[in-house]
Chains A and B, each alone.
Chain A
Amino acid sequence: MAILDVRNLSVDYLTDDPLAGSGRGSIALHAVENVGFRLEQGRSLGLVGESGCGKTTVMMALLRLLPQEGRIVHGQVLFDGQDLLQYSEAEMRQVRWRGISMVFQGAMNALNPVRTIESQMVEALRLHSIIEQPRAARQRAGELLQLVGIPPRRGRQYPHQYSGGMRQRAVIAMALACNPRILIADEPTTALDVMIQAQILELLEQLQAELYLSLVMVTHDLGMVAEICDDVLVMYAGMVAEYASSDAIFNNPQHPYTQRLLEAFPDVEKPGSTLASIPGSPPRLDDLPPGCRFEPRCQCQWREAICAQKVPPLVEIEPGHCVACHWARRI
């Protein structure tokens, strides 16, 4: 059974004063609509798409860490068979870090600057009763640091004394402290230089193999996906465009967007560059087209009226390969 099974997840963001409640002049932006995927234990999933396509929102929704304006309006998040969306806040606290942990985007700032690295790791260990004894916990924290290639005695130092790459690794170590089943890494290598990027990737691969960890990598870097991910979920404007194994995506992309992404592939590795080869930009959330969201930018030769009129359903064209495009299934 899949360790994580997300079904028809939809997330809205309320604009204007969120405390006024919806219905009092605030608009609901449909940031994520009908997203679903499965994750087996020990496998890794790459979640790919442009900035703002909703990938981070999906991940935050899993752990219920959305900002105040966020509302999960639909779906099921089955973690080991249990629907997390039915959990109370107290129950969620048990799942967080212990069942599913997360490495946020811009992890450099994820550490409390006035506490030692060690103390922050010990906190995680003791909170989830992995190890209660302070001394033993500190010992374990040291081991975890070693696992990510940081000398254990540096645990006594403060975050500002670590380099960016080290901080990233420390955050990963901390995320593993409670032996989670799933690790979500949101843009783990953005803003790091190429050498460090390679190190981090290697580390993640290694950890995955050693600990039989399930990994979700949120990124817009296809190179990274090609290296580590078993499966890929391509998102566009809050919806799933294509979902298949890594092989299928790279060798047989069906969705026009995926195809364009791959064409732009060599450029994507340059930091900071947008997908300049696809003209236009994603639709605004308050101005979504009635049909396929990619249609305005789609240059596919089989484009027809139906594309702009009806949202294409996600269809399994081959076992394990789903696409949301009116024409993909006809090929």
Chain B
Amino acid sequence: MERSNYILRKIVFSVGTLIAVLVFNFFLFRILPGDPVKLIIHSPRMTREAQERIRANFGLDKSVWFDVERLREGDVLGAFDSQFTTYMRNLLRGDLGISFATRKDVTELLAERVWRTVVLVLGGNVIAIVLGMAIGLIAAWRRGTRLDAAILLWGLFSWALPTFFLGIILLILARGHLPVGGMATPGLRPEDGLTYWLDVGKHLILPTLTMAIVYTSEYILIMRSSVMEVLTEDYILTAKAKGLSTLRVLRDHALKNAMLPMVTMIALTFGYTVGGAIQVETVFSWPGIGRLMYEAVQKRDYPVLQGSFLLLAVSVIAANLLADLLYTVLDPRVKAE
């Protein structure tokens, strides 16, 4: 099909998904039984000021979706002045509300922590993708041998291993050798320059390692099955008939074809890696978005939960869109007929 057509469809889908997520996000926190916002509002621990701010921010004095009363009165524009529109308006302004627990701006909280999760997720994924593809390729090529069986078993075993549990094991093993919690040794600050950043780096090792181990096996399994599929194709036989050595066949014919489905799969897996980051950050007390969500769950800090979820969902949607666009560049079949 037309490439531009394809791209357009993908963009429309992503935007649609985004809107659905936004609506869902709103819906979740206002409509479900227990209406957490109302409960918190009346918590005695809130100062009057904070209560007012939250009330105004969420527009709790307004109707949820649509104000029928005001419509009857003839105030059409006013009818749309509901909690939902307030929510959408705030969103467009970048206002995600205020944390119940810390009373800080949610957007501020997220902005502060986002790079920490990005580093973790990207670092872990890059290692996992590179290693996963290499090992998966070897496993598929050496299909049926003991090496392949070993790799497959490792892959299945890793799949069965919960991310957080692997983190716990590494934590126990590395205790005393590597820092196991937090982002930096207490006392060091960014102003300390290189010492600080090296320290951060050391703290990053275990969490990134955990991510890398878990997701490498995921990518190994995906690449392995992708390559095995490709190696049954006729053009591989042709390449062999041409007199190409096995290595050259793998490199010049199999690899590119196997990578195409990988791109899509990597995008899908990205969503899982975000979930993995939540677990890893919790285990290693790495102060990113994941850890923030964990703490927000414990403290019932709904605005933070809502905001974090939104951020994560949007990132994953964006990543998927990017992967789709990348795919159109890589696969020559997605072009004008």
A96 lies within 8 A of B241 (CB): yes
Q: Do A109 and B242 touch (CB < 8 A)?
A: no
> Is A201 close to B, CB under 8 A?
no
Q: Are A104 and B234 in contact (CB under 8 A)?
A: yes
A110 lies within 8 A of chain B by Cβ = yes
Residues in A53-86 with C-beta less than 8 Å from chain B: 63, 65
Interface string of B20-57 (1 = CB under 8 A from A): 00000000000000000000000000000000000000
B332 x A158 contact (CB < 8 A): yes
* In-complex Cβ contact of A19 among B144, B235, B242 (8 A): B144
The CB with the most chain B CB atoms within 10 A, among A63, A101, A109, A114, is that of A114
> Which of A120-128, A228-236, A307-315 lines the interface with chain B?
A120-128
Contact check, B333 vs A65: say whether CB atoms are below 8 A apart: no
Would you give the 0/1 interface string for B242-284, flagging 1 where the beta carbon is closer than 8 Å to chain A?
Answer: 1111000000110011001000000000000000000000000
Q: How many residues of B contact A (CB 8 A)?
A: 22
| Residue of B235, B237, B260 with highest tally of chain A CB at under 10 A | B235
A93, A95, A106, A160: the one contacting B245 at CB < 8 Å is A93
- Contact pick for A113, options B241, B244, B257, CB 8 Å: B257
Write the chain A residue with the least CB distance to B257: A114
Contact of B241 among A19, A63, A94 (CB under 8 A): A63
Q: Cβ of A94: which chain B residues have Cβ within 8 Å of it?
A: 243
> How far does the alpha carbon of A128 sit from the alpha carbon of B235 in the complex, in Å?
18
| A294 interfacial by beta-carbon distance below 8 Å | no
Q: Are B241 and A112 in contact (CB under 8 A)?
A: no
B243 touches A111 (CB 8 A): no
User: Looking across the interface, which residue of chain A has its beta carbon closest to that of B256?
Assistant: A114
Taking the complex as formed, is B61 at the interface, i.e. its CB lies under 8 A from any CB of chain A? no
Residues in B with CB closer than 8 Å to A257 are none
- From A65, A95, A98, A112, give the contact of B235 (CB < 8 A): A112
Q: Complex: how many Å from CA A113 to CA B260? A: 12
Q: Which residues of B contact A (CB under 8 A)?
A: 144, 233-235, 237-245, 252-253, 256-257, 260, 330-333
Interchain CA distance A21-B260 in the complex, whole Å = 35
Given contacts A113-B332, A160-B333, contact A102 B241 (CB under 8 A): yes
Q: Which of A106, A113, A124, A158 contacts B242 (CB 8 A)?
A: A124
User: Contacts A96-B241, A98-B243 hold; do A109 and B235 have CB atoms under 8 A apart?
Assistant: yes
The one of B239, B245, B260, B331 in contact with A112, judged by C-beta atoms closer than 8 angstroms, is B239
The answer on a CB contact under 8 Å between B243 and A128 is: yes
A97, CB-defined interface residue at 8 Å: yes
Cβ of A127 and Cβ of B244 under 8 Å apart? yes
In the bound assembly, the distance between CA atoms of A97 and B235 in angstroms comes to 14
Closest chain B CB from A195 CB (angstroms): 22
Query: What is the minimal beta-carbon distance from A115 to any residue of chain B, in angstroms?
Result: 8
Asked whether A97 and B253 contact (CB < 8 A) given A110-B238, A111-B235, the answer is: no
B242 contacts A127, C-beta separation under 8 Å: yes
Complex: chain A residue closest to B144, CB-CB: A19
Residues of chain A within 8 A of B331, CB atoms compared:
114
- A114-B242 contact in complex given A104-B234, A106-B234, A123-B252, C-beta closer than 8 Å: no
Q: What is the bound-complex CA distance between A283 and B46, given in angstroms?
A: 88
Q: Which residue of A lies closest to B259 (CB)?
A: A114
B244 lies within 8 A of A65 (CB): no
* Beta-carbon contact of B235 and A113 below 8 Å: yes
**In this complex, which of B233, B242, B256, B331 has the most chain A Cβ atoms within 10 angstroms of its Cβ?**
B242
Q: Using CB atoms, name the residue of chain A closest to B248.
A: A127
How distant is the Cα of A97 from the Cα of B237 in the complex, in angstroms?
A: 12
Contact between chains at A112 and B242 (CB < 8 Å): no
- A160: chain B residues at CB < 8 Å are 332-333
Cross-chain contact B332 with A112 (CB below 8 angstroms): no
Q: A96-B242, A104-B238, A158-B332 are in contact. List 9 more A-B contacts (CB 8 A).
A: A96-B243, A97-B241, A104-B234, A112-B238, A113-B235, A113-B333, A115-B253, A128-B243, A160-B332
